[in-house]
Structure 1
Amino acid sequence: MNNKGCFGIGTIGLVLIGVIALVIFWGIGIRNGFVGSEQNVNEKWANVETVYQKRANLIPNLERTVKSYAKFEQETLTKVIEARSKATQVTIDPTNMTEADLAKFQAAQGELSGALSRLMAVVEQYPNLKADQQFIDFQREYTAIENSIRAETVNYNAAVKEYNTSIKVFPNNIIANFSNFKEKPLFKADAGAEKAPEVFTE
């Protein structure tokens, strides 16, 4: 009788150990999925930063080209240069990004976008500058980069939505809260963001 009792308790114990092991491995698998998803978000953010930096890197060439036209409105160019300086000073740690961080980043980049748009409109008054090969090259690169910015921010948002969903659904949210995985902020579309940048040509 005692042997049977011990055997029965041992079996129950083994079953419990097996269940606990399964739960632990399940939790580890879920957590590893969060890590992979978060790394994907970080990679997409790095791509966003890269294309914005490429745009900022275009400004010195634009400045040299425009300055060669002495009568060009200096104030308009100065605003572009100042906006570029502000935009390049805003940096974000993607592992601890908040909505406020992203809003500050977008505001700085939006200010540069606006300054560049105003400069492009003013250039219309300067046919010689419009026809300058260096300015034409700038326009071509600028348009390509603006298109890349739109594509990369869309890719980032898609990665964030997938990650945020994965950590919010039950029972994943239990593992996420226990492991301190937090929601990531999304890019908010600017007014007119769906439109391609205008390129002024002859």
Structure 2
Amino acid sequence: MKIRAVLALAAAALLSACGLNSVPTAEENAKAKWADVQAAYQRRADLIPNLVATVKGAAASEGKILTDVTEARAKASSMQVTADDLTDPAKVEQFQAAQQQLSGSLSRLLVTVEAYPQLQSQANFTALMSQLEGTENRINIAIRDYNAAVQSYNTTIRTFPDSIGATVFYGAKPMTPFQAKAGADVAPTVSFGNTN
């Protein structure tokens, strides 16, 4: 009877060190952080129609840029990556590309807005821009937190003894971190044109 109790305690101790709890905990944390990334992007997508409507009133001649922003928002909003897709680098990359296209369209919109000082003085526009700026900061923080959670998860499933449980019990695969867009490591060139 004592031998069975000792064996049961030894088996429980060995199993607890094999990632039975740490692997799903790390995986769920990474999935929750991905949900935060998606929520931040959704907040941005929700702000865009109001921003476009405000700009449209003052900059009717800039229809192409407004159309590009609207189309990029629609594409970015339709691109969904579920928690189960986080181990598929291609799906994460597609999501990221759609979000980068939207960011580029927004940048062109903001450059256009600079040509309309009367728009910049409108309270609605100022409030929307402030919310958009805050949302971009939230996106960056959510991506940073997601990447930290993915790093923790990927480390957990690759290190001993958790790697045993990750492989044997869960068939765990590494998750894909959010990557910087190509060329992000090169500083942009600022040119004010001919100063003569």
Is it true that 1:86 corresponds to 2:75 in the alignment?
yes
- What do residues 23-72 of structure 1 show as CA deviations (whole Å, max 9, x unaligned)? 45432452111111111111111111111000000011012112212543
What is aligned with 1:200?
A: none
Q: How much identity, in percent, do the aligned residues show? A: 37
What is aligned with 1:34?
A: 23
Bigger CA drift: 65-74 or 174-183? 65-74
Is it true that 1:180 corresponds to 2:171 in the alignment?
yes
Aligned equivalent of 1:59, options 41, 48, 58: 48
Bigger CA drift: 121-130 or 156-165? 121-130
Residues 157 and 186 in structure 1, CA contact (< 8 A), matched pair in contact too: yes
Q: Residues 24-173 of structure 1: matches in 2 within 5 Å?
A: 24-28=12-16, 30-69=19-58, 71-97=60-86, 98-173=88-163
Gaps of 5+ in 2: 188-196
Relative to the length of structure 2, the TM-score reads 0.84
Task: Quote the Cα distance in structure 2 between the aligned partners of 1:93 and 1:113.
Answer: 21
Q: How much has 1:22 moved relative to structure 2?
A: 2.2
Q: Aligned AA for 1:187? A: F
Based on CA coordinates, which of the two structures has the bigger radius of gyration? Answer: 1
Task: Quote the Cα distance in structure 2 between the aligned partners of 1:170 and 1:28.
Answer: 12
Residues 87 and 109 in structure 1, CA contact (< 8 A), matched pair in contact too: yes
Q: Aligned AA for 1:188? A: Q
Q: How much has 1:107 moved relative to structure 2?
A: 0.3
Relative to the length of structure 1, the TM-score reads 0.82
Residues 89 and 71 of structure 1: is their aligned pair in 2 closer, same or farther, counting only changes over 3 Å?
closer
Bigger CA drift: 107-116 or 65-74? 65-74
Q: Aligned AA for 2:14? A: W
- More RCO (CA 8 Å, sep 6+): 2
Task: Quote the Cα distance in structure 1 between the aligned partners of 2:111 and 2:85.
Answer: 38
Q: How much has 1:172 moved relative to structure 2?
A: 2.1
RMSD, aligned α-carbons: 2.3
Q: Aligned AA for 2:114? A: E
Q: Aligned AA for 2:89? A: E
